[in-house]
Amino acid sequence: MKAFIPSPETGVWDLGPIPIRAYALFIVLGIIVAVVLGNKRYEARGGRSGVITDIAIWAVPFGIIGGRLYHVLSDWQIYFGDEGKGFVAAFRIWDGGLGIWGALALGGVGTWIGARRNGVALPPVADAIAPGIALAQAIGRMGNYFNQELFGSPTNLPWGLEISPGNRPAGYVEYSTFHPTFLYESLWLVGVALVVIWADRRFNLGHGRVFALYVLLYTTGRVWIEVLRIDSANEILGLRLNVWTSIIVGLGALAYLVISARLRPGREVIATPDDPAESSDSKAV
């Protein structure tokens, strides 16, 4: 018999009157990992202890709101189409649906606000948290496993994911196993985090280039993973919206890497408030 990956029977456990949802648990776990790793990396670069935690108070809610907004707006027909789930469903984040592009955009705004309030520069913060964000995404994707969502086309490969009939898209009811694209993305992101950490140490990256490298590597993987997916999505010129977004954002990250390396080589030095020689959090070296 061929072995496949079974899907969980449920993604919700009742703790008395309180439902515990796997999707939310993995998101929270990912946030914790990102903050802890970000704090360690920022301190290792010379930053103050606890700054990343303080910034996360702003970045996390902004990121969640942005991620949900992008998902709802880019897949509006799921909620507001002729057979949509309705306005209220757009707020049920526990059912799944966070767009990374919206999370990065508004999360970036929250990070900027938090950095300003803590009197620190944004680029070193972005570089410190980049690998943690990748790991947070990798962990969060496991919530899609419990929701039986974000899988790809049918496959008979040994690592094919078994999907219950009620969760199979229209036109694929007769198939039982599919590409686990959520797992592909999760493994890719773990690799991205490791490569980014290595490159940061090897090339002494600074001025936001660590974050740009993370974005470039992630979008590269997202393109081929997105092509495998069969869930409904808006398309432009025959390609899914997220494919176009990945290409555009990835090219922007590549351009930033090249231009930044030429204009501001090396890594900035993070100063502390006790250092009277510095009037800001960082300077170019």
Q: Check residue 229 and give its pLDDT.
A: 92
Instruction: For residue 253, give the amino acid letter.
Output: A
Residue 15 forms beta bridges with which residues?
18
User: Measured between alpha carbons, how far is 252 from 219 in angstroms, rounded to an integer?
Assistant: 11
The whole-number average pLDDT for the span 227-248 is: 91
* For residue 95, pLDDT beyond 60: yes
- Tokens 């059912």 belong to 95
Could you tell me if 192 and 218 are in contact, meaning their C-beta atoms sit under 8 angstroms apart?
yes
pLDDT at 78: 76
Task: Tell me: pLDDT of 276 over 80.
Answer: no
* 3 vs 267: CA distance, rounded Å: 49
Q: Tell me the CB-side half-sphere exposure of residue 120, using CA atoms within 13 A.
A: 28
Residue 278 — pLDDT band, cuts 50, 70, 90?
very low
Sign, CA torsion 44/46/51/56: negative
What would the pLDDT profile of 48-89 be if each residue is shown by its tens digit? 999 999 999 999 999 999 998 888 887 777 787 777 777 777
Residue 256 vs residues 86, 139, 166, 247, 252: alpha-carbon distances, Å: 40, 27, 44, 14, 6
Domain ranges of the chain: 12-264
Give burial (CB, 10 Å; 0-12/13-18/19+) of 96: middle
| Residue 184: other Cβ atoms inside 10 A | 19
pTM for the complete prediction? Answer: 0.89
Are 34 and 132 spatial neighbours (Cβ–Cβ below 8 Å)? yes
Q: pLDDT value at position 90?
A: 78
pLDDT band at 2 (very low <50, low <70, confident <90, very high): low
- Spatial separation of the C-alpha atoms in residues 194 and 202, rounded to whole Å: 12
Per the model's pLDDT, the better-predicted residue between 94 and 89 turns out to be 89
Contact present, 33 and 258 (Cβ < 8 Å):
no
